[in-house]
Amino acid sequence: MKSRRFDLIVFDWDGTLFDSTGLIVRCIQSACRDIGAEVPSDEAAAYVIGLGLNDALKHAVPGLDPSRYPELGSRYRQHYFARQHELVLFDGVLPMLQTLKARNHWLAVATGKSRRGLDEALAQSDLGSLFDSTRTADETASKPHPMMLEQLMRELGADPHRTLMIGDTTHDLQLAANAGAAAVGVSYGAHEPAAFESFAPLFVAHSAPELHDWLVRHA
């Protein structure tokens, strides 16, 4: 078998493994309506996906009185947790992860979700056993700060040059660059792939099966 290039493969969650971009956008917008705040456009709400919740809301609704962000965050969480059972994995994600696990890569998640949110999503999708470690934005620094990726590499004993970050946003690709790791983008999530060019990803996949095929051949 061809020797592998990467020991550790780290995935973003929302918009990369889980088809959740649309729901997150709608929940941000609904939370804004609840408290009478300016409602961001679909594009503006999608842009902040991948950031920690506090950072995301401050970017999406910059004109809000700072004292009201906790209220907005609370309303967002209520909307999201009420509907997260509707979410599913992108087609092809499960066999991809199973293939990578069989090849003895370490697998991890680096996400802007909260620990509660990720744990519930892992339980719902029954994927917890496939990942060697995970990091969430409420237990470390939010993307694109390199801390969560650095912590995963340190925990699992992976060097930056043998670590690959995969995500659907520029926040993910900037995270990889800041941590000295390689990156692959996916075009089917929150950000338009044209925005990836300045980060020079190794590849941009247009579906999970296409990502699977690339990883088998190049990771």
Is 7 a residue of the active site? no
> What residues form DSSP beta bridges with 205?
186
Contacts of 65 (CB under 8 A, 6+ apart): none
pLDDT in tens, 152-203: 999 999 999 999 999 999 999 999 999 999 999 999 987 888 989 999 999 9
Is 14 a residue of the active site? yes
Q: What is the pLDDT of residue 186?
A: 97
119 vs 113: CA distance, rounded Å: 9
Considering the entire predicted model, what is its pTM? 0.85
Mean pLDDT of the residues in the chain: 93
Confidence class of residue 113 from pLDDT cuts 50, 70 and 90?
A: very high
100 vs 113: CA distance, rounded Å: 23
150 vs 145: CA distance, rounded Å: 10
Q: Where are the CATH 1.10.150 domain residues in the chain? A: 21-85
Closest-CA residue to 177 (of 211, 206, 149, 139): 149
Q: What is the pLDDT of residue 2?
A: 60
- Judge contact between 143 and 174, C-beta under 8 A: yes
Average pLDDT, integer, range 46-70: 90
112 vs 129: CA distance, rounded Å: 20
Q: How far is CA 3 from the centre of its chain?
A: 27
pLDDT in tens, 83-104: 888 888 999 999 999 999 999 9
Kindly tell me if the per-residue pLDDT of 141 is higher than 70: yes
The residue to which tokens 């939010």 are assigned: 142
Q: What is the pLDDT of residue 203?
A: 97
Question: Domain 8-20+88-218 - what CATH class?
Answer: alpha beta
Domain 21-85 adopts which CATH fold? DNA polymerase; domain 1 (1.10.150)
The pair of structure tokens assigned to 76 is 């967002």
Can you tell me whether residue 7 is helix, strand or coil? coil
Average pLDDT, integer, range 23-30: 93
The pair of structure tokens assigned to 30 is 């609904």
Average pLDDT, integer, range 29-34: 96
